[in-house]
Structure 1
Amino acid sequence: MGKSRDFSEFERGMIVGARRAGCSLSQTANLLGCSRTAVSRVHREWWHKQKTSSDRGASGRKRLVDENGEKRLASMLEANREATVEEIHAMYNKIIDMPKCDSASMF
C-alpha cells in the first residue's frame, strides 16, 4: 500500500470539528472521503498535542537556494537572457556575497 497524501490544514480542522461535534469515526471518514484510520490519527494527534499540522514538510534535504534566492535568480535570468550558465553563476555568487541592502539596487 502506498503512502497517502497529506491532509491540508483545512481538512485537518474539518476532522477535528466533526469529531468535536459528535460525529463518529465512520461518519467523519465518509464525510471527507478518507479512511477511518486517518481520521483517528488526526484526531488523536489533536487530542494529545493540541495541533493538527503535518511535520512532513520539515523533512528531507535542506534547500540550497531559499525563496529570496530564487526570486533574485529569476530576475537575473530575465534581465540577462543571453548569458551563459557560467556567467549567471558568477553574477549570482557576486550578488550573494554583497550586503543585503545593495542587492536590491542591482536590478
Structure 2
Amino acid sequence: MGKNRLQFAQAHQNWTVEDWKNVARSDESRFLLRHSDGRVRIWRKQNENMDPSCLVTTVQAGGGVMVWGMFSWHTLGPLVPMGQRLNATAYLSIVSDHVHPFMTTMYPSSDGYFQQDHAPCHKARIISNWFLEHDNEFTVLKWPPQSPDLNPIEHLWDVVEGELRALDVHPTIIHQLQDAILSIWANISKECFQHLVQSMSRIRQF
C-alpha cells in the first residue's frame, strides 16, 4: 500500500456506514463506440477516463462519449455529457451548476463531503478557490492519488458498460450512445448504489 493510501485508510478506519453516507462521489468516464469486424462494440477504456491534459477527445474508430457523474447514499446525482475540452473553466461550471446544488440539497446541515480525483483540472487554482469560498457548506474529501479502486463510482461505470453490452439493439452513432448511457444511469437501482456505499466500511482492511 502506498503512503497516501495508508494514511487515508488510517484516517478513516473508524468511519461507519453512517459516516460514508455523508460522502458524494464524482468521476469522469469515456465510453467508446467502435466498429470492428462488422460488429459494433462498446466499452470503457479502463484507467484512461482522464488523460493528463484533461482533454475530451473523439476516437477515430467510431468515437465516444465522455460523461461526468456523481452519487451519494441518498440518490444518484446528475450525469453530464461533456462534448468539449474539460479544462478548469469547464469543470468550474460543473462544480457550480451541479455539485453545489447537490451538496446543499442533500446535506443542508453542511456535514457533507465531496470526493473528486486528482485530475489536473480538478486541482486548478480557480477550482481550489471556489471550494474554499464554499467550505462552510461542505468539505472536499482528501483522496489518495491513483486510487480509483477506492471510489465506488467505478462500479457504477461498470454497470453502465455491462448494460450497454447487453442491449438488444446497439447504438451505432454517438447521440444514440449518449442517450443509452443517460437512460441506463437514470435506472440504476437504489439498492445498487447504496450497497456500494456500505462496502466502504471495509476500508479499514486496507
Q: TM-score, normalised by structure 2?
A: 0.18
Ranked by relative contact order (alpha carbons within 8 Å, sequence separation 6 or more), the top structure is 2
Larger radius of gyration: 1
Higher helix fraction (1 or 2): 1
